[in-house]
Amino acid sequence: MKTTPLLPDDPAQALQVLIRLTTAVLDLTQQEAGALARRDGLTFTALQEEKEASIKRYTQASGEFRARVQDFQGADKATLDRLYALQEDLSAAAQANNAALKHAGVDTEEGQK
């Protein structure tokens, strides 16, 4: 079954969509970090479904971006820089959360102890 693309054909609009999706995952990752820091398992668990759905959309859009990377060569440099900075922030936040989960004895591959 063919998946409906998330990114519009217009590169500028596509970058804005990818920035919104990246920001959404980063926000959820930061909320998750807060829950981990407070040892708030209820909030952490409640975030998982929304985070999983957001990651799925982000992953699809990232794949679309990579498949069309040549379309973005002439895109606004400041917008691309913003996207790359958000992606670096997301990577760092995800690594920090995975380390916190590992320290807590949670298997980050399975999401269980």
Cα(21)–Cα(27) distance, integer angstroms: 10
CA-to-CA separations, 61 to 22, 67, 76, in angstroms, rounded:
9, 10, 18
28-32, 93-97, 98-102: lowest mean pLDDT where? 98-102
* Token digits of residue 81: 């820089």
Q: What confidence tens digit (pLDDT) does each residue in 40-58 have?
A: 999 999 999 999 999 999 9
The Cα 72–Cα 89 span in angstroms is 21
User: Model's pTM, two decimal places?
Assistant: 0.87
Q: Which range has the worst mean pLDDT, 5-19, 64-78, 98-112?
A: 98-112
Amino acid 17: pLDDT: 98
Alpha-carbon gap, residue 54 to 90, rounded angstroms:
13
Res 109: pLDDT = 57
Query: Could you tell me which residues come within 8 angstroms of residue 104 by beta carbon, excluding any fewer than 6 positions away?
Result: 36
Angle value at C-alpha 100, between 18 and 46, nearest 5 degrees: 60
Grade residue 103 by pLDDT with cuts at 50, 70 and 90. confident
**Residue 36: both structure tokens together:** 């981990």
